[in-house]
Amino acid sequence: MRDNKDAPIVPSGFVHQGLIDTGVARAANALAPDVVRIRYSVGEDWNGSPAVFFRVVLSDNASLRKHLREATQRVTSTVFNEVRPDELGLQRHFNFRSVSEQAKLQEEAWT
């Protein structure tokens, strides 16, 4: 038996970003036109767990109060099913904003 206690542990999500790319692309296509764009980054969350952080730009219509809850639930469900972050050893976190909000903020990470 070999002792690997000093070997770094790399979550499979860090190794398989191509799988995430493919899943995100499928989800974005399935969610159009309500979803304008999905971006993501992989890192550690607040408690040090490996995580994927999704940044979702919704159409202004999908961002309206009367549509927002349904839209965000549909997005989280579809992205989860297409990307399967749990199978990659990643916690998932979502942030949403509208096209109008992004136009005002102009944050590069969301483009």
Q: Give the domain extent around 49.
A: 12-99
CA dihedral 59, 65, 66, 69 (to 10 degrees): 80
Q: What is the pLDDT of residues 3-37, one digit of tens each?
A: 545 544 455 445 578 899 999 999 999 999 999 99
Q: Measured in whole angstroms, how far is the alpha carbon of residue 105 from the centre of its chain? A: 19
* CA separation for the pair 33, 23 (Å, rounded): 17
Question: Stretch 54-61: mean pLDDT, rounded?
Answer: 98
Given this model, what pLDDT does residue 51 score?
A: 92
Answer whether residue 33 is part of any domain: yes
Given this model, what pLDDT does residue 16 score?
A: 75
Q: How is residue 77 annotated by DSSP? A: H
The maximal CA–CA distance of the chain, rounded, in angstroms, is 59
Answer whether residue 39 is part of any domain: yes
β strands within the chain, DSSP E: 35-44, 50-58, 91-98
The proportion of the chain whose per-residue pLDDT surpasses 70, expressed as a percent, equals: 86
Residue 98 has pLDDT above 60, yes or no: yes
Given this model, what pLDDT does residue 2 score?
A: 47
Given this model, what pLDDT does residue 1 score?
A: 46
Answer whether residue 6 is part of any domain: no
Three-state secondary structure call for residue 39: strand
Answer whether residue 1 is part of any domain: no
pTM confidence score:
0.85
* CA separation for the pair 13, 32 (Å, rounded): 26
Answer whether residue 107 is part of any domain: no
The angle subtended at Cα 15 by Cα 11 and Cα 16, nearest 5°, is: 110
Q: Give me the number of domains the chain comprises.
A: 1
Q: What is the pLDDT of residues 63-73, one digit of tens each?
A: 999 999 999 99
Residue 66's domain is classified under what CATH number?
A: 3.30.70.1350
Answer whether residue 72 is part of any domain: yes
A 10 A CB-CB count for 5 gives 5
Answer whether residue 69 is part of any domain: yes
Answer whether residue 2 is part of any domain: no
